[in-house]
Structure 1
Amino acid sequence: MEPAELLLAMRDLRVAAGQPSLRDLVNRAAVPGGGGSYLPRTTIGDVLNGKRACTDAVLLHFVKACGVTHESEIHQWMNAWKRAYQSEGVTSRYSTAC
């Protein structure tokens, strides 16, 4: 899997989740106790627009914010991230982008 394929899958997941706004995604990933969000608006906006590589933490909070709750599905998403970003050369290319 390439990073572009993961990005397309993320966009499809967002559509399947009812196309929540970036603000809704941020709110769904809020840190308990009002300490901000695990999914900053600028970060997720840049990822979804292809301006920034997706980190594993951003992907985890994004899929949860889109309503993915089953551990097996979350595991599949994280495996997709590993295939997209841990292949040789990809991680180093994007290490400063996030």
Structure 2
Amino acid sequence: MCVVTYFQHKDCKHIWAVVTEPCGPWMGFSTCRNIGDGTTKETPKFYRTKMRPCPRCAEDIVGRMYDRNAVRVVDRMGWGVKFGTGPDEDDWGVDVRFGACGCVIL
């Protein structure tokens, strides 16, 4: 399974995710079947940085595109709690997710 790490730039506050340990050659967001499959994963690492360039700002300023298989800019993040029989998306239960705007029950 690919390992994903999150970064937030200290100046622009943009957040992006990077496949820091691919599970195979050329594996990433577009090609790894374990990303976005609905199974519970460990909480990813999250770093605040000034040294790593923000892919969104670098694209706006320099005009270069970033590899969307290895890097994804995060639009919004939220965390939640699962009440039910198991941790995975397909298990019986209720997901309560907390976003920036409040609480959402799915």
Give the TM-score category using the shorter length.
Answer: under 0.3
More strand by share: 2
Q: Which structure: larger Rg?
A: 2
Compare relative contact order (CA 8 Å, sep 6+) and give the higher one, 1 or 2. 1
TM-score (structure 1 length as normaliser): 0.27
TM-score (structure 2 length as normaliser): 0.25
More helix by share: 1
